[in-house]
Amino acid sequence: MATRLQVGKVLLGAFLVPWSNREAFARALAIPLLSIVAVNLSWYYARDYLPSFSNWLLYFVYCGLYVIFAVTCHRLVLLDARSVAARPHWSWRETKFLAWVIVIGLIFAVALPVLATPMTNILMWTGLGVHDDRFQWSIQCGQILALYIVSRLFLVFPATAIDRRVNFKWAWRRSKNNGWRLVIIVGALPWALSNLVWLLYRENEGILEDIVITFLGSAIVAFEVAALSLSYRELTKEDAMDRG
């Protein structure tokens, strides 16, 4: 019988696991987090004084730091937190993780118009404007279906973080009968939490506010990564038994 993912249990664990290992989390994530804050502040306050290409450079550095942050979070949850390196760095593991991010991003970008186009064509054929607010739900349905597809592939992230060689076929099989639960965990939850953070933004915020918001956003990322890690653990119990 396929494992049924318990969303409530996963979300509770995503808070309790980092809290119970807060010293290990703080030690392992301190450098990536402080680096993210530094890049964010440089990007925001010094962008007008930097050459244009440096903005792209800061963007790539920013993304790379979050890859290190996410990989480290996965490892802290899935492995012995005390054994995870206290000084995370870029390695082949992070390169593979970033490659999965790019590939899944491309899949979503392709799936979205493919799934939304039939609905758009129906609206155009009936003479209704596709940009009419009353019919935006049709486009949103395409977004939800595209999100469903990529959510079932997200299991490759925690697997890659712990150096397990997997592929999309494996992820699709392991997420069977749990697709919509994963949509909640990797789609609806991040959307809701990110919108809460955006509510804190205001024009001309001070440097202290910017630092606090960056720390808060990173804490939310850690929570979301922990939720995905725990989902992976629940859905791969059969794999562990087979290897055992």
Cα separation, 136 vs 200, in Å, equals: 27
Percent of the chain with pLDDT over 90: 50
pLDDT in tens, 28-74: 999 999 999 888 887 776 666 666 667 778 889 989 999 999 999 99
pLDDT in tens, 197-240: 777 666 666 677 778 888 888 888 999 999 999 999 999 987 65
Q: Give the position of tokens 């890859």.
A: 67
Cα separation, 190 vs 196, in Å, equals: 10
Instruction: Name the residue with higher pLDDT: 241 or 205.
Output: 205
The pLDDT of residue 126: 57
User: Which secondary-structure segment (H or E) carries 29?
Assistant: helix 22-46
Cα separation, 23 vs 71, in Å, equals: 17
Mean pLDDT of 177-186: 94
pLDDT in tens, 66-118: 999 999 999 999 998 877 766 778 999 999 999 999 999 999 999 888 877 76
Across all residues in the chain, what is the average pLDDT? 84
Q: Give the position of tokens 């790539």.
A: 60
Cα distances from 29 to residues 5, 37, 162, 204, in angstroms, run 28, 12, 17, 29
In 88-175, where does DSSP find H-type helix? 92-125, 136-151, 156-161, 168-174
